[in-house]
Structure 1
Amino acid sequence: MDATTVNASLLFLNATDNPTCVDQQGLESFRRDFNKAHGYLSIIVCVFGIICNVLNIIVLMQKNMISSTNILLTALAFADLFTMIAYVPFTIYVSIVKMETAQPQAWILVFFYLINSHLNITLHTISMWLTVALAVFRYIAVCHHNLGPKLCNLRRAKLTILAVNVFTIAFCIPNYTIYNIQPVRKRPGKYVAGQFTFVTAFHKIFNFWLFGVVLKIAPCVLLTILSTLLIRAMHAANKKRQRLKSQGRRAESERTADHNRQVSSFSYTLTTLFT
């Protein structure tokens, strides 16, 4: 029986009369198992997502596929692609190599951790706001036919992509400037991620509202509203179709059915992409 087994046995025996210790043991065991499983599952999902996004980009960049909606979808595919590419090495190192990010590490590893975190957060935020922009474009095109060609053209789609990228990076700057790399006392060559001395409670609260609410919660709320409006448009189109069909106007009824399928398909696609 080796030392590890002896220590584990003693820990178990000592814990039998201490429910708190048993709970801590169970939580720690769950954390280790979940972290390991999460790492492998994340890599599988990321690899699958990378392949799918590459295929999406190839298809959407064909000349006959150029449209304002497809340009936004292409930008969204690129954002998701780079998010997954950046997440793979981080997950491999943290979950498989078992780097404890809270423990002191070499400077290059802490630097990699910070850069990767900032990159993933920025790309994911861009992806969320591009999804909202896509929903706005489709809502205008589907529910306001007269305004669609004017407001949802290629030029506006490209400007929207540029604006989303620029404003996301600008809004993330406060989050970038909070963290730094600090040496560990009495441990030469070891560093941890910390916060600058100028960071106060005000900075933390401001960063929470700006980053946590404006950049994260707001797009979820907006997408919920837009999805609800699109679903309402689908129900209205259904009623119109039934009314036209009862009046014997079959051609108009079929056009309304096509419109309904368009709204339904887009709502499903949008929900899937955002998830």
Structure 2
Amino acid sequence: MGYSINQTSSTDETNGVINLTNGLHWYPFPPGQCPPLYYVILQGACAPLIIIISTVLNSLIAVVLLQKHLRSPTNILLLAIALYDTLTGLFPFPTYIFLYTFRHCDDYIPFNYGWFHRINHDVLPFIFHTCSIWVTVVLAIQRYIYVCHSEKAKQWCTVPMALKAIACVNVLALIVAIPMFIEGTFHAKAVYSLLDRKNIFNTCTVRDYSEDSRYRTYFSIYSLIRALLINVGPCTILVICNAILVERMKEAKENREKLMRRRSHESRGQEQTNVTFMLIIVVTIFLIVEIPMAIYIILMAIFRLFNKNAPNFFNFAVQLLNFAVLLSYPINFFIYCRMSRAFRDAFTKLLCASFLNTRQERLQSMAAPLLGKQCGVTTNNIELKISNVETLPASSVILNSTANEIPMSSLISENNNDLKISSNGSVEKLRVSFIDDVN
């Protein structure tokens, strides 16, 4: 939205409130008219609490996924979604507190607050929510490639490709949001405060070009295109990908016993199934809150195109939809904890590292003398020689990155000649070899 100062608008004063003309409107709402009670409950009490919880949980997700051994293309996309969801809630947080929690609506809104409200309450949340939507689409397409076209995963499902996809999504969101900056202009109007008649300050008014008959058609078309790009299109792609993944999961479940010959293969295959099922749940929750929002945006664009007023209950409906979107943000953390063993392990080790280390050292100190006493040998009589040891990286939350994340098993070969016992009963040589069959 463009911003300008114009104090020449014709007005008349009635009961201390100035009545605007010439197409100007109060922003964000008329002075002395506080929002309805459901606004205060949803946006002033529930929304700030949900935003705080979501910020804490998404921060924990980011800390876990930023670990070096968990770095994979899918985890980078999950990290981006957590970041975008957090920013979508944090930027409007001050406006919720100012307008709805403390209800600063009994006087004119200062002019400087107008642009702050517009940017933080409307523009930036829209940009970050758009990024979150399209990164979710990229995540679903990536999982589709892993499951249905695994031979192409090494080419398309890499960390550089994930970063490029995120950059393209950011550019797309900025381009789509450009008309939001030019659909109206802010104007300052000198007024007397309703609380203190001696105080004069500039209040905020707006001229909305989307309501002008000369531009209404253009903005209605823009609303429809935005609904297709941001809501309808992504939801359609996600529904198709979800249906394909569910079908492939059924086939994999039926053929698992035939394909998985070894126990290690079976456990890795089960982890891959859990990961796919986890992403299906994440996408399904996303669709539950986004499809009604898409329907609402399309209906509002149609009403505006035909110059008709929307029903009154639409105001209440959009508040419920916005709150449902906020409510879906902290759910992902619990889904990751429930469905991904690797995420649980990494999260536990991250928060309880000192406790686990202390417990491990205590167990080792207790086991060492017991082992020597039962075997009748001392540590001086044991010579360990470990050769060709290759440390494998810990499993990531999503085991899907190229060669390192393809479900493979490591075999342990034992040579009978590697263990020799001397005549006095001591172990002369113990050699353990770890052979990894990962190409």
The partner residue of 2:222 within 170, 189, 207 is 207
| Alignment partner, residue 125 of structure 2 | 120
Q: Which contiguous aligned blocks of 4+ residues in structure 1 show a shift greater than 3 angstroms? A: 183-188, 196-199, 248-259, 269-275
Q: 5 Å matches for 1:181-196?
A: 181-184=186-189, 189-196=202-209
> Which secondary structure state, in structure 2, belongs to the residue aligned with residue 98 of structure 1?
coil
Corresponding residue for 1:262? 275
Question: In 2, Cα distance between the equivalents of 1:99 and 1:226?
Answer: 46
Q: Work out which of the residue numbers 33, 36, 40 in structure 2 matches 1:36.
A: 40
Partner deviation per Cα, 1:176-197 (whole Å, 9 max, x = no partner): 2112212358777222233247
CA–CA distance in 1 between the matches of 2:178 and 2:225?
Answer: 11
Cα 1:164–1:199 shift into 2, 3 Å:
farther
The residue number in structure 2 matching 1:227 is 242
Q: 2:157 matched to 1:147?
A: no
Letter aligned with residue 182 of structure 1:
H
Alpha-carbon distance between aligned partners in 2 of 1:212 and 1:84, rounded to the nearest angstrom: 21
Structure with higher helix content:
1
Check 1:259–1:50 CA distance in 2 against 1; reply closer, same or farther (3 A cut).
closer
Relative distance call for 1:157 and 1:249 in structure 2 (3 A) is closer
Deviations 1:84-140 (A, max 9, x none): 211211111121122459x95211111111111101111111111111111111111
Aligned length: 243
Q: Secondary structure at the match of 2:150?
A: coil
C-alpha distance in structure 2 between counterparts of 1:46 and 1:172, whole Å: 23
Larger Rg: 2
Per-residue Cα deviation, 1:161-212 (whole angstroms, up to 9, x for no partner): 0000011101111222112212358777222233247960232122212222
Q: Which residue of 2 aligns with 1:110?
A: 114
Question: Structure 1 residue 176 and structure 2 residue 199: aligned?
Answer: no
Shift in CA distance, 171/199, structure 1 to aligned 2, threshold 3 Å: farther
Q: CA RMSD in A?
A: 2.9
CA 1:195/1:33 → structure 2, altered by over 3 Å: closer, same or farther?
Answer: closer
Quote how far apart the aligned CAs of 1:216 are.
Answer: 2.3
The structure whose residues are more often strand, as a share, is 2
CA deviation vs aligned residue, 1:54-106 (integer Å, no higher than 9, x gap): 111111111111111111111111111211211211111121122459x9521
For structure 1, the 5+ residue unaligned runs are 1-27
8 Å Cα contact 1:53/1:81 also seen in 2: yes
Cα distance change of structure 1 residues 71 and 254 upon mapping to structure 2, 3 Å threshold: closer
Matched residue type, 1:68: P
Q: Structure 2 unaligned runs (5+)?
A: 1-32, 193-200, 288-327, 329-439
Report the TM-score when normalising by structure 2: 0.50
